[in-house]
A and B are shown apart, each in its own frame.
Chain A
């Protein structure tokens, strides 16, 4: 039987090319918010988990996924939201963490603070505020190069 349905591996590759709307340096799959991709009959089901319950980017992300998949010819598409298990920064991929650092955002650390300044790599850093420009970030400052920088909160 010949089928037009692309393999889920292919779908994952397409989603891997969709950037996060707030932090375009990383993709949605880097962020770890796509929980599942599967075919239910001739309908593609994509399950997404929100990073923060009030994050305004969530709606844009949903729209971006839909646009990306429709552009590839997926006509029947269902986007499902899954709250549990709750999203954790443990689901950020290693590539995602490297890309964050390269973009100037210190990746999350289990210790609760950045390992070092993403710009000059000094470990002399201090927290300015527990919150930052998006729900997922906090504001820190490097005491060596004196630059402020974003830290991706560890949750």
Chain B
């Protein structure tokens, strides 16, 4: 394992990078123009946050890598995002459910990181929190609107939840990197974020007339980098091909 702080920053940056790229895949093909614009804006915020996290990760690492080098020149096994964010977009409902589940975790994490002993982490969290609060407001409304909507939209949202729920647990798993962050008051123990997440999730699902799956089985291996799903490699082959085919290309 490399330096825990570097690992932690890669986790934050890779979550926003991979989800930002996934969401940007909707650009031009979303169901309606307003949603297309909203998704592109969400992706833009996430990519902006990625730049902040990964530039800091590169600085902490001290090997001269910046956000671009980390985003475009690492292979699948070096990525530290949770499995949830690399899952395929599916239909619009599945994309919104994935975004809602991530936003809810993300907001809790950023609130805690605002009090980080690391000034730059606290500053990035403070900046990102404003954007993520806005994201969560929209995804909450959308999940409720579609869940408590027509039979068709309800069924699709329930299906999306059933499919994605097994990826929720990984966001709250604590490991050695987290323990090192807690020891230095840099970041919270992810497990401590779960009660607030669960309480709000239950409220929203209730309003959305959706049923939370009973099994707490959790797929793991993304944030540790041990076992990403097959989807990440395919995504990176598209995201990274230009910088790999033409290193240092600019426009």
Contacts and interface: CB of A to CB of B under 8 A. Distances in A.
A130 B38 contact: yes
A153 interface: yes
A131 B142 CA distance: 14
Interface of A: 50, 52-56, 83-88, 128-133, 135, 139, 153, 155
Given A129-B34, A129-B37, A52 B123 contact: no
A96 B122 CA distance: 29
Nearest to A130: B138
A129 B38 contact: yes
A128 B127 CA distance: 26
Contacts of A83: 52, 120, 123-124, 126-127
Contact of B48 (A55, A87, A88, A131): A55
Nearest to A136: B41
A-side interface mostly: loop
Given A129-B37, A129-B38, A130-B134, A53 B123 contact: no
Contacts of B138: 130-131
Interface string B133-158: 01001100000000000000000000
Contact of A53 (B35, B51, B122, B137): B51
Nearest to A128: B34
A84 B126 contact: yes
Contacts of A133: 37
A85 B137 contact: no
Nearest to A84: B123
Nearest to B114: A84
Contact of B127 (A86, A129, A139): A86
Interface string B112-128: 00000001101110111
Contacts of B122: 84
B75 interface: no
B46 interface: yes
Which residue, of A128, A129, A133, has the highest number of chain B Cβ atoms within 10 A? A129
Nearest to A139: B34
A135 B34 contact: no
A85 B134 contact: no
A130 B137 CA distance: 9
Contact of B41 (A85, A88, A128, A131): A131
Contacts of B34: 128-129, 131, 139
Nearest to B137: A130
B122 to A, nearest CB: 7
Interface string B82-122: 00000000000000000000000000000000000001101
Contacts of B44: 52, 54-56, 135
17 contacts: A50-B48, A50-B127, A52-B44, A52-B131, A53-B49, A53-B51, A53-B52, A54-B46, A85-B126, A86-B127, A87-B127, A128-B34, A133-B37, A135-B41, A139-B37, A153-B134, A155-B134
